[in-house]
Each structure stands twice: as C-alpha cells, then as structure tokens.
C-alpha cells in the first residue's frame, strides 16, 4: 500500500546519515536532515538498550543512588552515553527498517500499534518502561501526556495492557464524542502530513494522497465503522487516493446521512505569523473553546488567554506540554476529562506545524 513511500523514506534516512559509511554516531543522526520522528526512534532505541543494561547492574544498598545530585549526574551520564553511541552499518540499517515500518503503522493505526508495541508479550509495564516506550512516538503525543498524568494523579507505579488500551480508547472517544466531521478529520493530520512530506520527494508533489484502505484502517482503529465503511465504498467506486480536504467533505457526507451535528467552523490548518510564532488562537470549534474555558478556567476568559499565550511562545510540544501539565497540577485539574483532552489535542495539533 505504501511500498514506494517506505522505500523513499528508507532512502532519505540512509542518504542523509550513514550513506555507505561503516558507522555513524547518534550525535550525527540527531544533527542530520531527516524527519524528527525518525530521529526520535533511533534515540529511543538506544535509550531502551541502556535502560535494559542499567537494570542488570548490581548496586549496593549502602550507597544512596537516589540522592538528587547523584541522580542528576547519572542522568547526564546516560544522556552522553546515548548521544555518543555508534551504530555499525548493519545495526543502523536494522534500526532504520524498524523505524520506517513502525512510523507508518503508528500513524495509520495508533491504538493498535501502541498496544502491541508498548507491551509486546508483557501484560504490564512500569512507569519508567512506559516513559521510554512513549519516547518512540513523537506524534499523537496527547496519548502519552494524558496516560502519564493519569498514573501520576493515582500514584500508580505500573499499568496493565488492558487498562492502557481502555485509556487509549477513552481518549479517542472523548475527542470524537460530539460526532463533528471536522474534529474527526483533524485527528488524521499527522498521518497526512507524514505521508505528504515523503510524497513531495517522489516526483515533487503530494498528489497521490492517502489510499482509502489506509484511512479505513485509521477509522477502524478509532472504532468508527460507519466512517471506515464509507471510505471503502469510495475505493470500490474507483477512488485510489484521498486528500485531506476531500476527507473532510466525505466525513460531512457521512454525518449528514447519520443526522449528526456538523461543524461550520473553518478547517484551515494551524499557521504561524510573520515573526514565526503561533497566533493567539487555536483551530478549535467555538463550542469546544467555551467548554474548555468553563471546565478548565472557571469561565475566566483572561486566565484562558494568559495560559494559551504563554504556551504558544514555546518552540516545541515537549516544552509546551510541561507547562500545561504544571497548570493542571497546580489547579487540581483531571487531565482525563473531556475538556482537558480537547485542549491537549488542539494544542498538540497546533505545534505539529513547528516540526521539520
């Protein structure tokens, strides 16, 4: 289905990093001109390797490894070990192949991929294991933010496969609960952006779009069979690819037939102003914005604007999510509520415009 895109991405990553060389350092990979999602995968692969080695170390209880300055020094040492790790050509190609296939699967079927990837053959994960595993996943980061906050607020040290899948499903359900064509379509933005960035390298355009079958997988993953069936009917009528604006139109058609509420707001993608910063608004339906202001800011528009303006000054979603998490903690806000999920999702979508 994405054979050409898979081959192209593999070619891009190899040509811009190791080429035909015998080895390459993680430092060089992180400084190379390849997608950030691929860099994250390579870095996480070595973080996971180091994590496994650390677990095998023998440590005497006579020494206080939890002392803050010792812990900070250990973290700095681990960072440098990862940063200067050297891949052989064979090892690099193996990880590259894993990264390429993982990213296509994750962007197409995030919940299914997370369930199988996070747990593999295990039935539970510790918080530390979950944290490293989520480092592989640079898109749809609201899953990570909400689940980690869930564990923190409940003071849980581990999480089961069944519990995690239930949480992932609930996050999706809360986002699409109002059955808005625009909201549902917006969930596919990282998928479209990733595919189109690769297709631009194939013939200089992204006119191929996304195959209907791939989108049917996406909406099956979201447990929206009516949407998936509608898209497969398009394929049966000869449609071979779908662009984002075409998807919005088709979803509106699905919802009209179901008699559901339709959004009238603009579906324009998030943009940045002439100074390179985000505007002080989110691409979000007005009724959801009002619900967020009421649920998270006690109907205080000024508090909402102040936090939003502050968060949008950050350059990366990682920085922004930390500020948002701090606000939730200080104001005793449940990050698993519908309003919190909508706010996290809207902000994360806005920040996708900053990635390379």
Residues 120 and 158 in one domain: yes
Residues 104 and 116 in one domain: no
Q: Do the domain assignments include residue 277?
A: no
Note whether 135 and 43 are within 8 A (CB): yes
Structure tokens at 289: 């914005």
Q: Do the domain assignments include residue 193?
A: yes
Q: Do the domain assignments include residue 276?
A: no
Residues 150 and 198 in one domain: no
Residue 338: per-residue pLDDT: 82
Residue 263: per-residue pLDDT: 35
Count of domains observed in the chain: 4
Residues 123 and 87 in one domain: no
Q: Do the domain assignments include residue 279?
A: no
Residues 96 and 7 in one domain: yes
Residues 302 and 323 in one domain: yes
Distance (Å, whole) CA 52 – CA 133: 12
Q: Do the domain assignments include residue 301?
A: yes
Residue 267: CA count within 13 A, CB half-sphere: 21
Q: Do the domain assignments include residue 85?
A: yes
Residues 146 and 166 in one domain: yes
Residues 188 and 171 in one domain: no
pLDDT tens across 187-228, in order? Answer: 899 999 899 888 887 765 556 789 999 999 999 999 888 888
Residue 273: per-residue pLDDT: 45
Residue 279: per-residue pLDDT: 46
Residues 94 and 143 in one domain: no
Q: Do the domain assignments include residue 11?
A: yes
Q: Which residues of the chain have pLDDT under 70?
A: 178-179, 203-207, 255-281, 352-356
| 10: containing domain | 1-56+66-108
CA distances from 163 to 117, 236, 263 (A): 15, 37, 32
Residue 179's contacts (CB-CB under 8 Å, 6 or more residues apart) are 255, 258, 260, 261
Residue 46: per-residue pLDDT: 96
Residues 225 and 248 in one domain: yes
Q: Do the domain assignments include residue 345?
A: yes
Last residue in a domain, options 154, 176, 198: 176
Residues 52 and 152 in one domain: no
């Amino acid at each position: 289905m994405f054979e050409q895109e898979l081959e192209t991405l593999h070619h891009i990553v190899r040509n811009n990093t190791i080429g035909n060389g015998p080895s390459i350092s993680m430092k060089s990979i992180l400084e190379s001109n390849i997608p950030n999602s691929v860099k994250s995968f390579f870095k996480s692969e070595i973080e996971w390797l180091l994590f496994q080695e650390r677990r095998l170390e023998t440590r005497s209880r006579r020494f206080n490894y939890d002392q803050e300055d010792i812990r900070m020094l250990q973290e700095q040492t681990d960072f440098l070990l990862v940063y200067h790790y050297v891949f052989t050509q064979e090892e690099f190609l193996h990880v590259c192949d894993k990264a390429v296939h993982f990213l296509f699967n994750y962007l197409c079927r995030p919940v299914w991929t997370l369930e199988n990837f996070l747990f593999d053959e295990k039935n539970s994960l510790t918080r530390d294991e979950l944290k490293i595993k989520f480092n592989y996943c640079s898109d749809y980061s609201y899953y990570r933010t909400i689940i980690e906050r869930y564990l923190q607020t409940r003071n849980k040290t581990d999480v089961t496969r069944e519990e995690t899948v239930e949480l992932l499903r609930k996050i999706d359900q809360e986002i699409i609960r109002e059955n808005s064509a625009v909201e549902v379509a917006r969930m596919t933005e990282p998928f479209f952006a990733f595919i189109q960035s690769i297709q631009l390298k194939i013939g200089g355009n992204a006119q191929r779009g996304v195959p209907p079958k791939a989108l049917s997988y996406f909406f099956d993953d979201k447990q929206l069979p009516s949407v998936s069936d509608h898209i497969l009917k398009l394929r049966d009528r000869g449609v071979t690819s779908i662009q984002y604006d075409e998807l919005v139109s088709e979803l509106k058609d699905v919802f009209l037939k179901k008699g559901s509420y339709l959004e009238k707001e603009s579906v324009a993608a998030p943009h940045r102003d002439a100074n390179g910063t985000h505007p002080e608004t989110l691409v979000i339906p007005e009724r959801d914005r009002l619900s967020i202001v009421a649920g998270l800011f006690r109907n205080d528009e000024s508090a909402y604007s102040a936090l939003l303006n502050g968060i949008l000054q950050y350059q990366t979603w990682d920085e922004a999510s930390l500020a948002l998490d701090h606000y939730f903690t200080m104001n005793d806000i449940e990050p698993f509520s519908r309003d919190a999920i909508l706010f996290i999702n809207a902000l994360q979508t806005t920040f996708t415009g900053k990635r390379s």
